[in-house]
Each structure stands twice: as C-alpha cells, then as structure tokens.
C-alpha cells in the first residue's frame, strides 16, 4: 500500500485566503509556510516569513516543496525567480496576464470569450473621446493594479474625463461600456496537473462599491446552456495557460442569456467561499489537491448556499450562529472600514428558505446591504 508523502506548501501572501488554504490542507497532512511581502500578514496560522525587502527567499524555499499564492498583485519577477527553484502553481504567466487588464482582454478576444466593448486610452483627451464613442455611462479602470473597486471611476458624461483621469492617476486606462446585465455571476473551475478539469456551479454575486457582499449557488433559474457556455470559456483559459489550481472568471449575464467576461483571478476566490459548506469539496481543498497532483474532488452543490461577507465591523456572532445551518468563518482581523473580517455561509433546503435566512443574517451584520437576487421574483 502506497503512503502519501505530506507536502510542504509555500504560499505567497499571508491573508485570509492563505489562512483558509491552510485550514483545508491540514487534514491532507500538509504544512504551510507563508511569504509575506507587505509587512502586514494576517493569516494567523502556519509559519509566516515577513520579507518586504526580499531578503529571506532562500529560507522560504528551503522549507517548501511546492509554491502557490493567495494574492496575484505580486512582482512577476519574484514568481519567475521562484519557478527556477520550486514548482509554482498557477504559473507566472497567469499572474502576468491578470495584472494587466489590456493583456487580459486581448487574451479573451483571442480565445473567443466575449467581453463588454472597450478602448485603451493614454490621456484625458483620449478618455473623453472613448467615453463619447462608447456612450456614457462608462467605467474607466487602471490597466495595472486596482481591486475591490480601487483604481476605477464611472463617467456619466464625456466631460468628466479630466476629473476621472486625475483621480485614477495612471498613465494608461481601459474604458469599458456599461452592460445592461441581469446579474453578475462567477465561474470557478479547477485544473489538475494532469489536465483534468472540474467546474463548480455558477454563483450569482452582489457587489456594493466594488466589494463583494453576497454570493449564492447553485442558481435555480440558470439554463444548462448558460452554465455550459461558462464552462467552455473557463476551460479554454485553463488550457491556454496550462493552468494548475483554482481559477475564477467573473462575468455579466445579459437579458438574452449571453455572458460577457469581466475579469479573471488566478487563485481561490471570494465568490467561491460558499463551497466550504455548500459543496462536496471546497475550492480550497481542490486547489491543494490540484497543485499536489492529487485527484480532484467532486464539485456539486450539497444544497442552496449563500456566502455573506462581513465588512468593516463584526456582526452579532452568537445570534448569527443561532440561525440554523449557518456557518461563521472569521479571519482573526481587527475591525477597519472596508476590511473583510469574516464570512457567513448560510445553507438551506430551498432558495426561498435561503433568502429568509440571509435576510436574518443581514439584520445582524453592521452596514450589510439588502440582498437582491435576480431570481427572487420567481420564488
């Protein structure tokens, strides 16, 4: 009988995603070493090497067998350097593409993945012209950096171009036409070392101020052909990048049912947190299975599930846990405006019951916005 050798996992970044990776990996016999390049780690688990000046990379590499990351805003050169010594999954090409919105959109175009109409601009004058051409409102985004709504501006008229250009403060922007969408959705898939791919049910997401607040899956009114289209889009990305691990693809679903890709994230993703309690195998466990060359786990949903983000201030945790089939995942972080502190996974027998429970959770979480699902009227 063969014995699995426990792998020592190195993680670039030391935030809550790394924390949840470790929690999923301990039952697999993994150990975890985090390399924090920010000077502000929050994982609170495993061994953390704080290295903002890149002085301790050799010590990190000595402790690990395989490297992954929980944060894609890393120096690509650092990831490429690590690849010379240890396997890194996903590879540096995925990070390079995701760090540059123009490269990302170009890749989508080449692979036949539809996106909202866009232009690339390099001055306030070009921004104004693009806004006029695409038709306002438009959203302008920095080509590099920016997440959770940062580095963006909405223009309601071309005349706002100068103000938006100065506010974003980047030398190159991507300008996107607004989409008349029914809902924001995301696809999460996992590709193993052997090229095997498994797909999670599509989730519907609700953002406020660019920050995710709710994700629900599976969707009761989702046509199988829409799920299949999303599966196909993410599969071609995974294969093109020779990707290993979890990949998230955010999309808009329009009124005719078609999908337009917004952006992708080369890591475990906030919109996949529902899988921790609502799917057979969580995104975190499957990511670890993938990067170790282990068989991938089943991805089907156990029951209707909603992930509720806790932002800025903690909720009434005891009261939250008093709601049946509700699971609290705290990140051991200090309260701060806009900071992700925890999430709550709510599981129910049907979507009507789920909606009722989520509204009960919302009342117990400070500043939680009303939940609005596209399928609510059909319940």
User: Could you give the count of Cα atoms lying within 13 Å of 156 in the half-sphere of its Cβ?
Assistant: 0
Element of type H or E holding 152: strand 152-155
Establish whether 177 is an annotated binding residue.
yes
Tokens 């005349």 belong to 159
Closest CA to 279 of 358, 199, 220: 199
Q: How far apart are CA 183 and CA 271, in angstroms?
A: 14
SS3 370: coil
Cis peptide before 248 (omega within 30 of 0): no
- Is there a contact between 306 and 345 (Cβ–Cβ < 8 Å)? yes
Which distant-in-sequence residues (6+ apart) come within 8 Å of 2 by Cβ? none
Establish whether 101 is an annotated binding residue.
yes
31: tokens are 């150990």
DSSP state of 221: T
What residues does 264 pair with on adjacent strands?
249
Burial of 327 (0-12, 13-18, 19+ CB in 10 A): middle
Closest CA to 372 of 148, 181, 188, 204: 204
Closest CA to 132 of 113, 112, 155: 155
What Cα–Cα distance (Å) separates residue 237 from each residue in 8, 49, 81, 248, 265? 28, 32, 24, 10, 11
Pairing of strands 340-347, 326-330: antiparallel
Q: How far apart are CA 307 and CA 274, in angstroms?
A: 5
SS3 11: strand
Establish whether 147 is an annotated binding residue.
yes
Establish whether 179 is an annotated binding residue.
yes
What residues does 47 pair with on adjacent strands?
33
Establish whether 227 is an annotated binding residue.
no
Establish whether 263 is an annotated binding residue.
yes
Establish whether 176 is an annotated binding residue.
yes
User: Could you give the count of Cα atoms lying within 13 Å of 355 in the half-sphere of its Cβ?
Assistant: 15
210: tokens are 């660019």
Establish whether 141 is an annotated binding residue.
yes
Which residues fall in the annotated binding site? 101, 141, 146-152, 176-179, 184, 207, 262-263
Binding residues for ATP: 101, 141, 146-152, 176-179, 184, 207, 262-263
């Amino acid at each position: 009988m063969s014995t699995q050798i426990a792998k020592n996992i190195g993680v670039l970044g030391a935030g809550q995603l790394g924390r949840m990776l470790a929690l999923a990996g301990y039952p697999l016999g993994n150990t975890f070493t985090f390399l924090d390049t920010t000077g502000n780690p929050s994982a609170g688990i495993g061994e953390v090497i704080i290295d903002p000046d890149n002085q301790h990379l050799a010590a990190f590499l000595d402790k690990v067998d395989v490297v992954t990351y929980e944060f894609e805003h890393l120096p690509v050169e650092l990831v490429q350097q690590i690849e010379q010594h240890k396997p890194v999954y996903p590879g540096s090409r995925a990070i390079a593409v995701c760090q540059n919105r123009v490269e990302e959109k170009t890749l989508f175009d080449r692979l036949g993945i539809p996106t909202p109409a866009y232009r690339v601009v390099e001055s306030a004058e070009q921004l104004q012209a693009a806004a006029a051409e695409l038709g306002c409102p438009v959203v302008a985004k920095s080509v590099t950096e920016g997440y959770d709504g940062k580095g963006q501006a909405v223009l309601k008229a071309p005349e706002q171009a100068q103000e938006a250009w100065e506010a974003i403060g980047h030398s190159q922007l991507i300008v996107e036409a607004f989409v008349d969408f029914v809902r924001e959705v995301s696809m999460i898939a996992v590709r193993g070392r052997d090229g095997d791919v498994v797909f999670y049910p599509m989730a519907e997401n609700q953002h406020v101020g660019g920050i995710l607040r709710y994700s629900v899956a599976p969707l009761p009114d989702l046509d199988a052909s829409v799920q299949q289209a999303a599966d196909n889009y993410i599969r071609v990305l995974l294969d093109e990048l020779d990707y290993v691990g979890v990949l998230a693809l955010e999309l808009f679903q329009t009124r005719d049912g078609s999908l337009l890709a917004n952006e992708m994230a080369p890591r475990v993703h906030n919109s996949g947190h529902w899988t921790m309690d609502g799917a057979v195998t969580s995104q975190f466990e499957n990511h670890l299975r993938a990067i170790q060359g282990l068989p991938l786990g089943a991805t089907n949903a156990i029951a209707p599930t909603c992930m509720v983000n806790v932002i800025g201030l903690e909720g009434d945790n005891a009261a939250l846990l008093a709601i049946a089939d509700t699971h609290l995942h705290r990140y051991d972080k200090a309260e701060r405006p806009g900071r992700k502190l925890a999430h709550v996974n709510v599981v129910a027998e049907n979507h009507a019951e789920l909606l009722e429970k989520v509204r009960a959770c919302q009342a117990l979480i400070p500043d939680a916005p009303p939940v609005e699902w596209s399928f609510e009227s059909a319940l």
